[in-house]
Chain A
């Protein structure tokens, strides 16, 4: 079976480097699946899960902000933050989801709604990836 190298890189260091048979990521325009031999592409990523399919297993990573670069032999995901499902700190994600929800419901003028909402989405994304329901 043909495979393609996937790198997930963040400013704090590489997160993932392995051969997979298919990558599925959430880009700004929708889900995008990449198989080996894909045409060189660049696409911005949303907050979402990246599915890394191997022959008989699938790994998950939570990614937020950044973009995806596809070259014929290699896929690179550059994100401001990225964690594999196994590295996610669940209690921290739940805590920040609660905090963001509280901020959204507080209904105060000085709350930056956009940021709270983004924080909530990131936290929910982490929780979903951790629980494997994507």
Chain B
């Protein structure tokens, strides 16, 4: 049986760990709040741009290379993961989904490329020997559009110049603080644009093509930015849940250890009394 001292040491160290995980849980909770606010601030922009794109797409016969499906020689997978661990199943869920999808669709590593947001995803795909064309790591906890502009610009640009012919995006969609769903979304080509509100018929200055030229890349970039915000909210939520269960497990462990500590203490006292009584009896 472990000595009293050993048990005491374990209790102290577990308590310290639980203090840390509890603090991390609270930090994640406040980050989650802000991430939700950020995601909400983005909604009006997304809705509006979607409305305008939809009304142009429906109102005119114009087609744009970004809206037409072409034969696929290469596919790009944009995968949004976190930079660090301690987020429960956040990264593994997404990476598992992407791997399953890749195995199902492709037979060789030459048929697709990876665009990675987040260090975990980049490291994982690099280890699998897959081509990573672009990666954005060390994003702040609350990214602004300027932070991810670089990768969205390249992701859209490489579609336009024919490096790849379609782009799928994978991220954890934030459902609630305890639930996140791995979501697959086809970003490019933009084939299903649906209006959220009433559409209007517009005058175009100078022309519908010129506007699509500006609008579509911006729209595709916004889709990606939206997913990054959504993914960040999920990341903070996942981290909060993971840290909560770590804290719960630690307190369970402490309860168990305290029980055995008390038993050991009692046993030691009983033994001491027996020894004293035995010693006194021997003297008589």
State the CA gap A101–B117 with chains docked (Å). Answer: 31
Question: Interface on chain A toward B: helix, strand, loop, or mixed SS?
Answer: strand
Cβ–Cβ < 8 Å partners of A10 in chain B: 45, 145
Q: Tell me the complex Cα distance, A69–B214, Å.
A: 13
User: Within 8 Å CB of B211, what residues of A?
Assistant: 42-44, 67
A65 to B219, CA, bound (A): 12
**Size band of the B side of the interface?**
20 to 34
If A69-B52, A80-B218 touch, whether A42 touches B204 (CB-CB below 8 Å) is yes
Interface residues of B in 168-216 (CB under 8 A from A): 200-206, 210-211, 213-215
Nearest CB in chain A: distance from B258 CB, A: 49
Q: What is the 8 Å Cβ interface bit string for chain A, positions 12-31, against chain B (1 contact, 0 not)? A: 11100000000000011100
Residue of B nearest to A115 (CB): B153
Q: Is B263's CB within 8 Å of the partner chain A?
A: no
* A83 CB, min distance to chain B CBs, angstroms: 12
When chains A and B are docked, how far (Å) is the Cα of A37 from the Cα of B273?
98
In the complex, are the beta carbons of A65 and B218 less than 8 A apart?
yes
Q: How far is the CA of A42 from the CA of B218 in the complex (A)?
A: 14
Instruction: Indicate whether B49 reaches chain A with its CB closer than 8 angstroms.
Output: yes
Q: Could you tell me if A29 and B202 are in contact, using CB atoms closer than 8 angstroms?
A: no
CB of A42 within 8 A of CB of B144, answer no
**Once bound together, how far apart are the Cα atoms of A32 and B210, in whole Å?**
17
Partner of A41, one of B42, B145, B205, B210: B205
> Smallest distance from the beta carbon of A43 to chain B beta carbons, Å?
4
Q: Are B45 and A78 in contact (CB under 8 A)?
A: yes
Q: Are B200 and A40 in contact (CB under 8 A)?
A: yes
Q: Given A67-B215, A69-B52, A81-B146 in contact, is the A43-B204 Cβ separation under 8 Å?
A: yes
Give the residue name and chain of the B residue nearest to A71 (CB): B200
Q: Is the C-beta of B41 less than 8 angstroms from some C-beta in chain A?
A: yes
Contact A14 B41 (CB under 8 A): yes
Judged by a CB distance under 8 angstroms, whether A35 is at the interface is no
Q: Considering the chains assembled together, what is the distance between the CA atoms of A27 and B207 in angstroms?
A: 12
Contacts of A44 in B (CB 8 A): 210-211, 213-215
B204/A12 in contact, CB under 8 A:
no
A32 neighbours in B (Cβ, 8 Å) = 205
In the bound complex, do residue B146 and residue A41 qualify as a contact, i.e. CB atoms below 8 Å apart? no
Q: Given A10-B145, A11-B145: A42 and B202 within 8 A (CB)? A: yes
What residues of chain B lie closer than 8 Å to A42, measured between beta carbons?
A: 52, 56, 202-205, 211
CB distance from B153 to the nearest CB of A (A): 10
Chain B residues near A69 (CB-CB < 8 A)? 48, 52, 202
* A9–B205 CB distance below 8 A: no
Q: Is the CB of B204 within 8 A of A41?
A: yes
B214 touches A39 (CB 8 A): no
Give Cα A65–Cα B215 distance, bound, in whole angstroms: 10
A76: interface (CB < 8 Å): yes
- A76 CA to B42 CA, complexed, in Å: 15
Can you name 27 A-B residue pairings with CB atoms under 8 Å?
A11-B42, A11-B45, A11-B222, A11-B225, A12-B41, A12-B145, A13-B38, A13-B41, A13-B42, A14-B41, A27-B205, A28-B210, A40-B200, A43-B204, A43-B205, A43-B206, A44-B211, A66-B218, A67-B215, A67-B218, A70-B202, A76-B48, A78-B45, A78-B218, A80-B145, A80-B218, A81-B145
Question: What 13 additional pairs, Cβ within 8 angstroms, besides A40-B201, A43-B206?
Answer: A9-B48, A10-B145, A11-B222, A13-B42, A40-B200, A40-B203, A43-B205, A43-B211, A66-B218, A67-B215, A69-B202, A78-B52, A80-B218
